[in-house]
C-alpha cells in the first residue's frame, strides 16, 4: 500500500504517493531536484518554474546517460579482461596437462 509523502521543491510542496520502502529514495531525489533547480534559477526569482524544471530534468538525464555509458564501458572492459585471463588460464592448464602426460 502506498503512503503519501510530502516533498518540497523550489518552495512548493508536493504530495507524492510512495511505497513505504521507497520513501527515503523519494526524499533524496526530491532534495537533489530541489538543489539542481535552485542552481539553475540562481538569483533570478522570476524565472519560469517549468523552464527551470525542464533544464534540471535535461541535466539529470544527461548525467544518467553518461553514467550508463561509463558503466557499459567498464562492463565491456571487465568482459575483455576476463576473456584474456580465461585464455591464459586455459593455455597454462593445457601446458601443465601436456607436461603431465610426457612424464607418464
Domain ranges of the chain: 3-103
Q: pLDDT confidence of 46, banded at 50, 70, 90?
A: confident
What is the fold of 3-103? Answer: Double Stranded RNA Binding Domain (3.30.160)
Q: Per the confidence metrics, is the pTM higher than 0.95?
A: no
Rounded Cα distance, 79 and 24, in Å: 34
Rounded Cα distance, 56 and 10, in Å: 12
- The predicted-structure confidence for 12-28, as pLDDT tens digits, reads as follows 999 999 998 999 999 99
**Do the strands 3-9 and 12-18 form a parallel or antiparallel pair, or are they unpaired?**
antiparallel
The whole-number pLDDT of residue 103 equals 61
Distance of alpha carbon 93 from the chain centroid: 39
Amino acid at each position: 500500500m502506498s503512503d503519501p509523502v510530502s516533498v518540497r521543491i523550489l518552495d512548493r510542496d508536493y504530495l507524492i504517493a510512495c511505497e513505504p520502502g521507497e520513501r527515503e529514495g523519494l526524499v533524496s531525489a526530491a532534495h537533489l531536484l530541489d538543489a539542481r533547480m535552485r542552481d539553475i534559477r540562481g538569483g533570478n526569482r522570476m524565472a519560469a518554474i517549468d523552464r527551470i524544471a525542464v533544464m534540471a530534468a535535461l541535466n539529470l538525464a544527461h548525467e544518467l546517460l553518461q553514467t550508463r555509458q561509463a558503466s557499459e564501458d567498464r562492463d565491456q572492459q571487465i568482459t575483455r579482461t576476463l576473456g584474456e585471463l580465461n585464455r591464459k588460464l586455459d593455455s597454462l592448464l593445457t601446458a601443465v596437462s601436456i607436461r603431465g602426460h610426457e612424464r607418464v
